Structure 1
Amino acid sequence: MAIGSGLGAQLGIAPEVTYGTYVAPTKFVEFTKESVVLKKTTAQSAGIAAGRLVPLASRRVVTQREAAGSIEMEFTNKAMGLLLQSLMGTSVTPVQQAATAAYLQTHILADTAGKSLTIQKGVPLTTGVVTRKNLLGCKVISAEFSCEVGGMLVVSFEIDAKNCEETSVLAAASYPAMSVFHFGQMGVKLGAVGSETARDGIRKMSVKFERPSATDRFYANSSALKAEPITNGQIKISGSIERDYVSTDLDDLHTSDAASSLVWEFIGPEIAPTYNERVSFILPAVKFDDAPPAVEGFDVVKNGLSFTGLFDGTNANKIEYMSADITL
């Protein structure tokens, strides 16, 4: 019997073969908050019948079913591969590094057609009985990564799903030993592609990927359920940097509107000699959008800059993830 509170909750995921068809969870992730729930559209008959003052319950129908919400978590050194693949789109096989226990995943930005997940969440009753909610056809439509002074690298995934059902059995959760990436491991570099240099004074950083998708593909002959979302707009990459005003370098990039390659990475403990746990967000062309810093009082002047990630015509936007995970 589980604890009758959020302490007894669980979240399992598995890649689907067919969009919206249940696959038993094979990997369990630790999370801090989730809100992925069933959404239904109903229609109520309004037929006039002499003397009837209240609509008939039997004449209310469900015309559409779907699910949506977000999952928030700390970014860990294991078990993030499936979610990264669902966000970025490329089919990834971890590559072993020089016969060591280190495996590199390279998630290059691509279309996400065919990349859907079953997400099963276990939600405890106060009695300790854990109810199951199987979210089918889950697509990651956006994700925001952020880290600040004294904090951990955290991520929020926005999920769109085909349906929610409660018939399949609750899987038994198991978790590998994991650690988190944090501010003490964070580095930010800018410059020409391949020769970026570390920048000083940065206190907070975030990067967001947004994937415009047609999530309203409800058709006849589909039992009120939608077809797999299709990309219907260019991917938006954006972010922000909060920095003490220690240099004019980012200010100059804003003034000139020149592009710079941005590498935001976290380097953890060694897995094997020369191979460390790592996650790197590699954006080959960013341009800064905000105005130069302003003096707002006696305190140290801060430079809050937002940026847009673009394509330099050659190098791909990508996320690299080095871990001991042999599979996603």
Structure 2
Amino acid sequence: MTTQLDCSLGFGLESAYGVPATPQQFPEFISESLAWNPEFVQGEGLRVGSRTPRTARRALGKEMSGGDIEIEATTKGLGLFLHAIFGASTSAQVDAGPANQQVHTLTKDALPSFTIQKGVPLIGGGAIQPHTFHGAVVESSEFSAAQGEIVKLTTTWNARELVTDTAYVPTVYPADMELFTFVHGSINIGGSVTPPTSTALAVGGTPAANITEFSLSVGNGIDEGGFTFGSEGKRGRRPEVGLVEATGSMVAEYDSNMLRDAFLNQETLQIVLTFEAGAEISVGVRPTLQIFLSSVKLDGQIPASNGGEPITQSVDFTSLDGLLAGVEPIYAVYRSTDTSF
């Protein structure tokens, strides 16, 4: 017997674009909107005695699939999504203990593709129905953290096809997952930062004690082509990546002119956002999620009155490539007991 709570998602890394893979990882999720998104064509030929478009002249012209998945940032299993977003990923043991560190940066090649199977139960306690998506890549993502909240990640997926005849793969969840929350966070803005290495976190910068919200969106700029003869209306090749659009925003209490002046003078800033949660994995090492932006320009704003309430600034920013030797524009660092992503 099932209930309507028994929805699931399973992920398998594909060996090549669109080649089905068996789901191996099963994240807990808040919501999903994965769907089949076809484009139909309708014949327009005139026929004596008929005033309406005809059933026999409706046909599938193009097949696409995809949608959004929203999850909470956890101390296990998050590397799957970070690898899907960024594409260039490494994993190394931090010390002699069980702690491993993943470092994710923007790929200069193709994005990894996944098979995603979502299971949806029938009303009335019926069996879970599998809906399997092949060739799924991350089109865009949004990372958000706000005061009093759980850190969340939303990914938007573009998939090659949907099939319903693949057998359902039962879920296997990792044990002892904890959440990253606002309580675990700290942020440094400006100053000098040493980028992360394969085993070390980014360090340095100027601690900022006035930030209440932070969000970062990363768009991979994948192309819309590849629908070629012989591919049966589906994308016939892997999506190509384009220029990355990385933008975000912060909400700051107005206790200094640092952000105002950085905006007015168009200073280049470095931002390090770090969450450390739970008990130590090994001596001095706790589960960690860190975002490092190495070259940021602010897009606004100057402070404004707030009706007698404490004044805050909503500060938009753009993450750029500073072309610093050996430094990537964006890093996502993840420490956990996971040995792979």
Calculate the TM-score normalised by the size of structure 1. 0.95
Q: CA deviation at 1:243?
A: 1.2
| Residue of 129, 134, 144 corresponding to 2:142 | 144
Counterpart Cα distance in 2 of 1:64 and 1:192: 50
RMSD across aligned C-alpha pairs, in angstroms? Answer: 1.3
Aligned to 1:113: 110
Counterpart Cα distance in 1 of 2:150 and 2:79: 18
Aligned to 1:273: 283
Runs of 4+ that moved beyond 4 A: none
Counterpart Cα distance in 1 of 2:286 and 2:111: 31
Q: CA deviation at 1:179?
A: 1.0
| Residue of 115, 122, 126 corresponding to 1:125 | 122
State whether structure 2 residue 314 is matched by structure 1 residue 320: no
Q: CA deviation at 1:103?
A: 0.4
Amino acid at match of 2:308: F
Q: CA deviation at 1:301?
A: 0.6
| Residue of 301, 308, 311 corresponding to 2:311 | 301
For structure 2, which runs of at least 5 residues remain unmatched after alignment? 195-203
For structure 1, which runs of at least 5 residues remain unmatched after alignment? none
Amino acid at match of 2:230: N
Counterpart Cα distance in 2 of 1:238 and 1:188: 17
Counterpart Cα distance in 1 of 2:60 and 2:34: 19
Q: Secondary structure at the match of 1:281?
A: strand
State whether structure 2 residue 223 is matched by structure 1 residue 214: yes
Counterpart Cα distance in 2 of 1:147 and 1:169: 37
Q: CA deviation at 1:205?
A: 0.7
Cα deviations by residue, 1:106-137 (Å, 9 ceiling, x for unpaired): 00112351510111100111033211110111
Amino acid at match of 1:210: G
Amino acid at match of 1:2: T
List aligned pairs for 1:1-328, cutoff 5 A: 1-3=1-3, 5=4, 7-92=5-90, 94-111=91-108, 113=110, 115-128=112-125, 129-177=127-175, 178-190=177-189, 191-194=191-194, 195-226=204-235, 227-232=237-242, 234-269=243-278, 270-314=280-324, 315-316=327-328, 317-328=330-341
Q: CA deviation at 1:53?
A: 4.1
Answer yes or no: is the 8 Å Cα contact 1:271–1:277 preserved in 2: yes
Of all paired residues, the percent bearing the same amino acid is: 28
Counterpart Cα distance in 2 of 1:78 and 1:53: 60
Answer yes or no: is the 8 Å Cα contact 2:111–2:241 preserved in 1: no
Q: Secondary structure at the match of 1:27?
A: coil
Counterpart Cα distance in 2 of 1:47 and 1:311: 53
Answer yes or no: is the 8 Å Cα contact 1:88–1:112 preserved in 2: no
Amino acid at match of 1:145: F
Answer yes or no: is the 8 Å Cα contact 2:266–2:297 preserved in 1: yes
Note closer, same or farther for the CA distance 1:152–1:245 as it changes in structure 2 (3 Å cut): same
Answer yes or no: is the 8 Å Cα contact 1:70–1:159 preserved in 2: yes
How many residue pairs are counted as aligned between the two chains? 324
Amino acid at match of 2:293: L
Deviates more, 1:83-92 or 1:32-41: 83-92
Q: Secondary structure at the match of 1:280?
A: strand
